[in-house]
Amino acid sequence: MELKNNNLFIKQNLQLKVSSLKIVRNSIFDSSEFEVSYENISNKIKTETTINNNLLFLSVFSLIIGLGLIFLEWDYSTFIKPIIISIIFFFIALKSKKRIITIQTFEENNIELYFTNNNKNEVKEFANNIIESSNKFLLEKYGKIDKNLPKEPQLDNLYFLRNREVISNIEFEELKNQLYGVRTVGFN
């Protein structure tokens, strides 16, 4: 599965692989290609929309200058320019909102997916597919029970899966009972 993802000056291509997420990112100033192992991807997703605070500051600053010129009783053409500039900065700030879905990692760089109102569902679905692929990989790698192998490392793997929220507490108990050969009796 693949997603082509663009922001104002950044183009990236994300591809789900067997054991990792491949990211190819190009911007005006640089380009990079790297893979993030599924073992380093967290289950935490954050969706946010932010406005460029620098442009908002410039908008307010220009407005204050324009209003200050009005109180100093300068002529009309002098104070209207900062007010028009203020309005332009304000609309540019609103238009250039950053819409990002961030998937946390256990490394230094988080995975950022950009979205617009038109592709939000597609990007959100891809983010969920990243988490599902990571969980599936971890479950296949660490969730298999083999009674011929030592029990302690397998139990550590089950704790790892539970702490990473790949399996629930109930699934953890079921796998632990399977590891130790304990049969449960009663209602689930």
Structure tokens at 38: 């599924």
Are both 45 and 33 inside the same structural domain? yes
Is the pLDDT at 127 greater than 70? The verdict is yes
| pLDDT confidence bin for 157, thresholds 50/70/90 | very high
Contact between 39 and 133 under an 8 Å Cβ cutoff? The reply is no
Q: What is the DSSP letter of 144?
A: -
Are both 17 and 110 inside the same structural domain? yes
Structure tokens at 67: 């209003």
Is the pLDDT at 186 greater than 70? The verdict is no
Q: Looking at residue 79, what is its pLDDT?
A: 76
Is the pLDDT at 182 greater than 90? The verdict is no
Q: What is the pTM of this model?
A: 0.78
Which residue would you say has higher pLDDT here, 78 or 152? 152
The residue segments making up the domain with residue 79 are 53-95
Are both 163 and 84 inside the same structural domain? no
* Residues sharing a CB contact under 8 Å with residue 50, sequence separation 6 or more, in sequence order: 97, 98, 100
Is the pLDDT at 188 greater than 60? The verdict is no
Q: Looking at residue 185, what is its pLDDT?
A: 57
CA nearest neighbour of 41 among 130, 172, 168? 130
